[in-house]
Amino acid sequence: MAYRYLSAEEIETRLIEAIGEITYRPDPAIKPALLKAYDHETEELPRDVLASIIANIEMAPEDKTPLCQDTGTFIVLAYVGNELIITGQPLQEIVNNALIKASAKFYLRSSILSDPLYQRINTGNNAPAILHIRIVKGDSLVLHIAQKGGGAENKSRLKMFNPSATDEDIIQFAVDTVILAGAQACPPLILGIGIGGNFETCALLAKQALFVPLNQAHANPLYAELEEKILNAINKTRIGTQGMGGNCTSLAVHIAIAPCHIASLPVAINLQCHAHRHCEIVF
């Protein structure tokens, strides 16, 4: 079998460049979605706030000021081809090195602590990154990267439902999660919802769902319909943009599913703020 070789240097260089890109620019689909929300919003206060958010998207790359001062936890979902050999360093080290260099280069805030409970000492360079590796067929490397702010992550939830639960129960769980989050998660939100798997894979599904293109519905019409029902129910809460009321609390809902145990129905909801900073790098 002929393997493809990819160097640590090449991965690091592309990662640093991509981190710079997402620091100043959200997902390109966000601005049109916010403009649409602004058009549909009838109340003055949320319109005023939406206008600020849209203006900020224009100002951030112009000023080279991060979109948000919370430059987040750096997350990488790596899809590594089984015919690919990464030379030089293990992927975790490559990602950490890129993050450390990018943090200095783009003046990212140091937001990561080495000890979560007792010492809470800042690592000073945002490392380590959170890396999930999946081996896939082929010789390519695909990295989904994100800067994930603390506010929305803090309000994310997971529930192990009984199999007797219905889609209505899941809709209610999503609505409750968004109401509990209020303004703290920085709506308008994107919801990544994992359904199935087990305790830890369900949370990862929810994270993966946040990387689905903003306007893309689930391939299965049943789940696509559930996404739409959840989105409509959330936008009826009137939490609104930044908790200021109005009709735009969420821009998109994405569901990812996996097989699960006969006793289980895990559901995880990962909230994403409007500063949706992520991209995909293909090697």
Which phi and psi (to 5°) does residue 146 adopt?
Answer: -150, 150
CB of 46 to another protein, least distance (A): 8
Least spacing, CB of residue 74 vs another protein, in Å: 14
**Which residues here bind another protein, judged by CB under 8 A?**
43-45, 48-49, 52-53, 55-56, 59-60, 62-71, 107-111, 120, 122, 124, 149-151, 154, 179-180, 182-184, 186, 238-240, 242-246, 273-275
Q: Of 81 and 240, which CB lies nearer to another protein in the complex structure?
A: 240
CA distance 30 to 234: 18
Rg (CA), the chain: 19
CB of 61 to another protein, least distance (A): 8
Output the CA torsion sign for 145, 151, 152, 153.
Answer: positive
For another protein, which is the closer residue by CB, 29 or 84? 29
Q: What residues are paired with 190 via a beta bridge? A: 252, 272
DSSP conformational letter for 116: T
Nearer to another protein, 59 or 222 (CB): 59
Phi, psi of 61 (to 5 degrees): -70, -30
Count of CB atoms situated within 10 Å of the CB of 199: 11
CB 267 within 8 A of CB 193: yes
Give me the least distance between CB of 108 and another protein, in Å please: 6
Q: Give the nearest distance from C-beta 97 to another protein in angstroms.
A: 19
* Least gap, CB of 200 to another protein (angstroms): 26
Give me the helix-helix angle, 221-235 and 167-181, nearest 10°.
40
Question: How many residues are present in the chain?
Answer: 283
Closest CA to 28 of 75, 67, 65: 67
Structure tokens at 63: 């000023």
CA angle 250, 255, 256 (to 5 degrees): 150
Minimum CB distance to another protein, residue 8 (Å):
27
Residue 84: CB atoms within 10 Å: 17
